[in-house]
Amino acid sequence: MIVLLAVSALGLDRLVNARGFQLYGGITPRVETSAKVVALTFDDGPDPAGAGPLLDTLAEAGVPATFYLTGRELAQHPELGARIAADGHEIGNHTYSHERMVLVSPDFVAREIEDTDALIRATGYAGEITFRPPNGKKLLALPRYLAEHERRTITWDVEPDSYPDVAASPARIVDHADEHVRPGSIILLHAMYPSREQSLRAVGPLIERLRDRGYEFVTVSELLAHEGR
């Protein structure tokens, strides 16, 4: 019995954390394509500590990105959300509170997503709003809600600053991304908080490195349109 419980727990943990599988609806960790296109995505925020410099770097490079923002921080810093939209970036939903979306009720899921959608629209952003669960975790209520509303879950396949030894240095972040990226990749970075200065400093060099390899940067919605091409 103990062994069966342990196996069941392991299976549940894998399901909760799986980047490419969920029980309902569509989930995308990367896009199958032969085109050398990648999506650069940023989670959390917007936070004033790094939002401005990050947006300046992207503007200077002429790169569109996708920002998965929390409703709570959008409510605190609406001017930053408005700038992200005005600069032509895509905005995705990362829940309101950044709570783990695992053992939660359908009503909680609906509030977290719908309140954040409203704040995203208030920025002036008019495009598709894709969804990314905090820490990539999901189980039943969240995927079911998304499937019922024809919303896609976007995860990632390259996450250089998720590893402490890599995240300690901009050069390591760039090298890790360069080593793991492939056509259709979705790159995850956290670059707006004071504790993420190394990630912020890595953005410019990472763009330069991948461009030198012939990659084009697109938003998540644009990347999805390359599926099978």
Half-sphere exposure at residue 187, Cβ-oriented, CA atoms within 13 angstroms: 32
Handedness of CA 156, 157, 163, 167 (dihedral sign): negative
Q: CA angle at residue 177 from 171 to 182, to 5 degrees?
A: 150
- Which of 141, 65, 72 has its CA nearest to residue 109? 141
Report how far residue 141's alpha carbon sits from residue 228's, in angstroms, rounded to the nearest whole number. Answer: 30
- Active-site residue, selected from the candidate residues 43, 47, 157, 161: 43
- Which of 116, 103, 107, 159 has its CA nearest to residue 135? 159
Catalytic residue status for 43: yes
- Active-site residue, selected from the candidate residues 89, 98, 190, 212: 190
The pairing of beta strand 216-218 with beta strand 37-43: parallel
Catalytic residue status for 190: yes
Could you tell me which residues come within 8 angstroms of residue 32 by beta carbon, excluding any fewer than 6 positions away? 184, 227, 228
Active-site positions read: 43, 190
